[in-house]
Amino acid sequence: MAFDPYAKQNVADPYGTSPSQRLSTALTGLSMQEKGLRRQDQRSRFDLAKAYKKRTPQIEANFAQRGLQDSGMRNLALAESASGFERQRTEQQSGLDAALFNLVAQRMGLYGGYAGSRFEDALGATSSRAETAARIREAMA
Amino acid sequence: MGMDPGQRGGTSSAAAVAKAKAKAAGAARRKRAQDLRAAPPAAVDGWAAQGTPASPRPQFDNIPEFQWGVDVAGERAIQDALSAAQANTPSPWGPNQQGPAPSSFGAGGPDAETVFNDEMAAIQAAFAARGDGSGAGGADLGDGGAAAAAAAAAAAAKAEAAAAAKAEAEAEAAAAAEVERLRLAGLEAEAAALEARQQECIVGGGTWENGQCTPGGVGEETDPFAAQKQACAQNNGMWNSATNTCTPIFDGAGAFDPNVGVDPAIEQQAADQISIVEKTLQTKNRSIQQALQAGLLSISDAQTAWDEARNEIYQDFLTEQGVLTGAFDTEQEETASRRTTDRAALLQTLNAAGVDSGLVGDELAMIDEMYRGGATEQKDYLDAMSRIGEMSNADRRMMGEGIFGGYEQNLRSGMRDLGLATNFEGADESQLARERGLQALGMSDFTGVDPETLYAALYAGVDVPGMAYGTSEREAGQEWASGESALDRALATDKFDESVRQFNWLGGRQDAATRTGISQWNKEFAREGSQYDTAQAQYQDALDLEAGQYATGREDIAAALGLEAERFELGREMDPASEFAGMTTAQQREHQRLTAKALASAGADVKAGSLLSQVASVMLLEGREPSEVRMMMDKVDGYLADTMRSDDLSDENVLAALMALEQTPIIMQVLGLMESDQMLDLIDTMDGTEAIVQDAVSTTGSAEPVGGAWTGTPDTGDPWDYKEPGGSWLTPNWPDSNKVTVYGEKYSPQAWPEGLTKAQAEQHIKRQLTAGLEWERMSQTWKRADQALQPRS
pLDDT bracket for residue B325 (50, 70, 90) = very high
What is the SS3 assignment for B783?
A: strand
Instruction: Report the gap between the CA of B415 and the closest CA in chain A (Å).
Output: 7
Instruction: Return the axis-axis angle of helices B71-86 and B112-130, rounded to nearest 10°.
Output: 170
For residue B695, the SS3 value is helix
**CA-based nearest distance A60→chain B, Å:** 10
CA–CA min distance A12, chain B (Å) = 27
Least confident of A11-15, B91-95, B332-336, B779-783: B91-95
**Domain residues of chain A, as ranges?**
19-140
Contacts of B378 in chain A (CB under 8 A): 97-98, 101
The reported pLDDT for the residue numbered B653 is: 83
Q: pLDDT tier at B17 (50, 70, 90 boundaries)?
A: very low
**In a mutagenesis test of the B interface, which of A78, A96, A102, A121 is the best target, namely the one with the most B β-carbons within 10 Å?**
A78
Please, which residues have CB within 8 angstroms of residue B617's CB and are 6 or more apart in sequence? B579, B591, B592, B595
Element (H, E) at B597: helix B585-602
CB B679 within 8 A of CB B670: no
Largest CA distance in chain A: 108
ipTM over 0.90: no
Q: In this predicted structure, what is the pLDDT of residue B258?
A: 56
Quick check: B648 and B637 in contact, CB under 8 A? Answer: no
Query: Are the beta carbons of B378 and A131 separated by less than 8 Å?
Result: no
> Closest Cα of chain B to A90: distance in Å?
7
A107, A125, A130: residue with CB nearest B303: A130
* Burial class for A80, CB neighbours closer than 10 Å (0-12, 13-18, 19+): middle
> Nearest Cβ partner of A134 from B287, B295, B314?
B295
Report the residue of chain B nearest A126, measured CA to CA.
B302
- Backbone φ/ψ region at B701: left (φ over 0), alpha (ψ -120 to 50), beta: left
Half-sphere exposure of A75 (CA within 13 A, CB side): 14
Q: B376-415 pLDDT, tens per residue?
A: 999 999 999 999 989 999 999 999 999 999 999 988 898 8
Which pLDDT score is estimated for B341?
Answer: 94
Whether the CB-CB separation of B1 and B404 falls below 8 Å is answered with yes
Side chain identity at B451, as an amino acid letter? P
Task: Report the run of H or E that residue B209 belongs to, with start and end.
Answer: strand B207-209
| Region of B463 on the Ramachandran plot (φ > 0 left; ψ -120 to 50 alpha; else beta) | beta
The reply to whether residue A137 touches residue B411, judged by beta carbons under 8 angstroms, is yes
Q: Quick one: pLDDT at residue B193?
A: 83
Answer positive or negative: Cα dihedral of B133, B137, B142, B146: negative
Report pLDDT digits (tens) over B441-489: 998 888 888 889 989 998 888 888 888 788 888 888 888 999 999 999 9
Compute the nearest-CA separation of A116 from chain B (Å): 9
Q: Do B790 and B764 touch, CB atoms closer than 8 A?
A: no
Q: Which of A75, A126, A138 sits opposite B414 (nearest CB)?
A: A138
pLDDT at position B111, please?
52
Residue B447: CA atoms inside 13 Å, Cβ hemisphere, count? 23
The rounded mean pLDDT for chain B is: 74
**Distance, CA of B246 to CA of B233 (rounded, Å):** 9
Alpha-carbon dihedral of residues B455, B456, B459, B460, nearest 10 degrees?
-150
As a whole number of angstroms, the distance between CA B639 and CA B793 comes to: 62
Probe site for chain A from B296, B297, B317, B412 (most A CB atoms < 10 A)? B317
Contacts A122 to B, Cβ<8 Å: 305-306, 309-310, 313
B208 beta partners? B213
Q: In this structure, are residues B376 and B384 in contact, taking their beta carbons and an 8 Å threshold?
A: no
Residue B122 in this model has a pLDDT that exceeds 50: yes
Residue B517: DSSP 8-state: H
CB neighbourhood size of B351 (10 A): 11
CA B7 to mean position of chain CA atoms: 57
Q: B753-778 burial, b for 16+ CB within 10 Å, e for fewer?
A: eeeeeeeebbebbeebbeeebbbebe
Number of inter-chain CB pairs under 8 A, A vs B? 167
**SS3 for B791?**
coil
A121-135, B74-88, B472-486: least confident range? B74-88
Handedness of CA B283, B289, B295, B301 (dihedral sign): negative
The alpha-carbon gap from B197 to the nearest alpha carbon of chain A, in Å, equals 29
Q: Are B632 and B615 in contact, with CB atoms under 8 Å apart?
A: yes
Which of the residue ranges B122-131, B322-331, B426-435, B697-706 would you say has the lowest mean pLDDT? Answer: B697-706
B15: closest CA among B140, B195, B187, B157? B195
Say how many Å lie between the first and final Cα of chain A, rounded.
Answer: 23
- DSSP of B367-433, one letter per residue? HHHHHHHHHHHHHHHHHHHHHHHHHHHHHHHHHHHHHHHHHHHHHHHHHHHHHHHHHHHHHHHHHHH
Binary contact (A83, B287; C-beta < 8 A): no
DSSP string over B426-478: HHHHHHHHHHHHHHHHHHHHHHT--HHHHHHHHHHT--HHHHHHHHHHHHHHH
The one-letter amino acid code at B153 reads: A
Give B368's pLDDT tier (boundaries 50, 70, 90).
very high
Q: Which residues of A touch B418 (CB under 8 A)?
A: 138, 141
- Using alpha carbons, list the distances in angstroms from residue B671 to B180, B539, B693, B700, B730: 159, 64, 11, 14, 8
pLDDT reading at B314 higher than 70? yes
Q: Confidence band (pLDDT; 50, 70, 90) for A96?
A: very high
Contact (Cβ atoms closer than 8 angstroms) between residue A85 and residue A48: yes
Query: Helix (H, G, I), strand (E, B), or coil: what is residue B67?
Result: coil
pLDDT at B307 over 80: yes
pLDDT of residue B47: 40
Nearest 5°: phi and psi at B584? -75, 170
User: What pLDDT sits at residue B711?
Assistant: 54
Q: What is the pLDDT of residue B79?
A: 54
* CA-based nearest distance B274→chain A, Å: 23
CB neighbours of B245 closer than 8 A, spacing ≥ 6?
Answer: B68, B94, B96, B129, B239
pLDDT exceeds 80 at position B589: yes
Residues B425-463 as b/e (b if ≥16 CB within 10 A, e otherwise) read: ebbebbebbbebbbbbbebbeebebebebbbbbbeeeee
Can you give the pLDDT at residue B48? 39
Q: Is B536 helix (H, G, I), strand (E, B) or coil?
A: helix
Residue B302 makes CB contacts below 8 A (sequence gap 6+) with A126, A127, A129, A130, A133, B404
The H or E element containing residue B28 is: helix B13-38
Q: Which residues pair with B207 in a beta bridge?
A: B214
Read off the pLDDT band of B306 (50, 70, 90): very high
Identity of the highest mean pLDDT range in A84-88, B59-63, B496-500 = A84-88
Q: What is the DSSP code (8-state) at residue B571?
A: T
pLDDT digits 0-9 by tens, B693-735: 444 444 444 445 445 545 555 667 676 666 655 555 555 555 5
Q: Which of A140, A141, A134, A132 is nearest to B418 (CA)?
A: A141
Q: What is the pLDDT of residues B249-261, one digit of tens each?
A: 655 555 555 566 7
Lowest mean pLDDT among A97-111, B622-636, B680-694, B770-784: B680-694
* CB atoms inside a 10 Å sphere around CB B221: 7
3-state secondary structure of B239: strand
In whole angstroms, give the CA distance from residue B728 to residue B724: 7
Q: Which of B72-76, B308-312, B742-746 has the weakest average pLDDT?
A: B72-76
pLDDT exceeds cutoff 80 at A120: yes
Q: Which of these ranges, B98-107, B197-206, B499-508, has the smallest mean pLDDT?
A: B98-107
Q: Quick one: CA dihedral A109, A112, A118, A120, positive or negative?
A: negative
Predicted local distance difference test score (pLDDT) of residue B336? 93
Q: pLDDT tens-digit profile of B507-529?
A: 777 767 777 888 888 888 888 88
- More confidently predicted of B113 and B607: B607
CA distances from B619 to B155, B217, B396, B447, B595 (A): 149, 153, 134, 114, 9
Cross-strand bridge partners of residue B742: B745
Flag whether pLDDT at B55 surpasses 50.
no
The CA-atom distances, in angstroms, between B657 and each of A24, B626, B642 are 144, 19, 10
C-alpha Rg value of chain A to the nearest Å: 30
Q: Do B350 and A78 touch (CB under 8 A)?
A: yes
| Inter-chain residue contact B370 with A130, CB threshold 8 Å | no
Amino acid identity for residue B664 in this structure: T
- Residue B448: which region, alpha, beta or left (left: phi > 0; alpha: psi -120 to 50)? left
- CB atoms A82 and B309 under 8 Å: no
Per CB distance under 8 Å, which residues of A are interface residues toward B?
56, 70, 75-76, 78-80, 82-83, 85-87, 89-90, 93-94, 96-98, 100-101, 104-105, 107-108, 111-112, 115, 118-119, 122-123, 125-127, 129-131, 133-134, 136-138, 140-141
| pLDDT greater than 60 at residue B97 | no
Q: For B353, which of A78, A131, A140 is closest by C-beta distance?
A: A78
Cα–Cα distances in Å, from A28 out to A115, B132, B291, B327, B742?
A: 18, 71, 51, 16, 160
At B348, the pLDDT band (50, 70, 90 cuts) reads very high
B725: left (phi over 0), alpha (psi -120 to 50) or beta: beta
Q: Report which of B160, B163, B162, B171 is spatially closest to residue B202, judged by C-alpha positions.
A: B171
pTM: 0.40
Which has the higher per-residue pLDDT, A81 or A2? A81
Interface test with B, best of A101, A110, A121, A132 (most B CBs within 10 A): A101
